[in-house]
Amino acid sequence: MFTGIIEAVGEVVETGRRPNGRTLEIAAPFADRLTVGQSVAVDGACLTVCARQDGTFAVDVGASTLERTVAGDYGIGAPVNLERAVKVGDRLDGHLVQGHVDGRAVLLDHLRLGDTRLLAFSLPEDVFATTIPHGSIALNGVSLTVNDLREEFVCEVAIIPHSWSHTNFSSLRPGDAVNVEADLVGRYVRRVLESTPGEPRRSPGIHAV
């Protein structure tokens, strides 16, 4: 489990192929404190540390993860948001993020409003269906509040200066894809509504639960 508060922006320093997947080696300031078997959220995708060297750690990425996430897009030098798994007793400053990426969102436009950036993303339809204004969403592992929802499955979020300078959002350009994870609570509420006899099916983009 994670909180969506990014600890560091790492850098992909090596990539490799393996049967039905790929391996990533990532430089990170906390790499020397990791142990094999620990979980790290890489752009919000929960991955297991399979090896560690001075200043870097390696993870294996399976075929299903490559299909749902942006992990297949990484090249050498790609910046990635990193967060270690939360420990019992830690503060929950963001929201509960499982690290189970639901799909890829695409950046549509970027507007600067004073020192705040407004980013609009096209969401997968099933993620949009569980998203509400002022609710939570994780984009590239970052816990964010939904600023607005638009037609055609578009979600707008506001990025404050600290988040802009401490994540890889500043490297995004329109057309770039990011990992998206729907709010845990919204996901289960939708499942309950869909499985309750006699409950009408909700259309995507409900604004209230």
Instruction: Calculate mean pLDDT across residues 137-148.
Output: 96
Has residue 26 been placed in a domain? yes
Has residue 206 been placed in a domain? no
The whole-number pLDDT of residue 207 equals: 44
User: Looking at the structure, do residues 80 and 107 belong to the same domain, yes or no?
Assistant: no
- Domain with 65 in it: what CATH number? 2.40.30.20
> Percent of the chain beyond pLDDT 70?
88
User: Looking at the structure, do residues 108 and 190 belong to the same domain, yes or no?
Assistant: yes
pLDDT tens figures, 17-34: 999 999 999 999 999 999
User: Looking at the structure, do residues 77 and 120 belong to the same domain, yes or no?
Assistant: no
pLDDT tens figures, 74-87: 999 999 999 999 87
Has residue 207 been placed in a domain? no
Has residue 52 been placed in a domain? yes
Tokens 């998206």 sit at which residue?
Answer: 180
The whole-number pLDDT of residue 205 equals: 55
Has residue 95 been placed in a domain? no
Reading the block at residue 17, the tokens are: 């192929």
Enclosing domain of residue 15? 8-84
Has residue 166 been placed in a domain? yes
Residue 112 pLDDT > 80, yes or no? yes
Partners of 80 in the β-ladder? 10
Task: Please count the structural domains in the chain.
Answer: 2
The whole-number pLDDT of residue 203 equals: 45
Partners of 15 in the β-ladder? 24
The whole-number pLDDT of residue 90 equals: 73
- Judge contact between 99 and 44, C-beta under 8 A: yes
User: Looking at the structure, do residues 114 and 39 belong to the same domain, yes or no?
Assistant: no
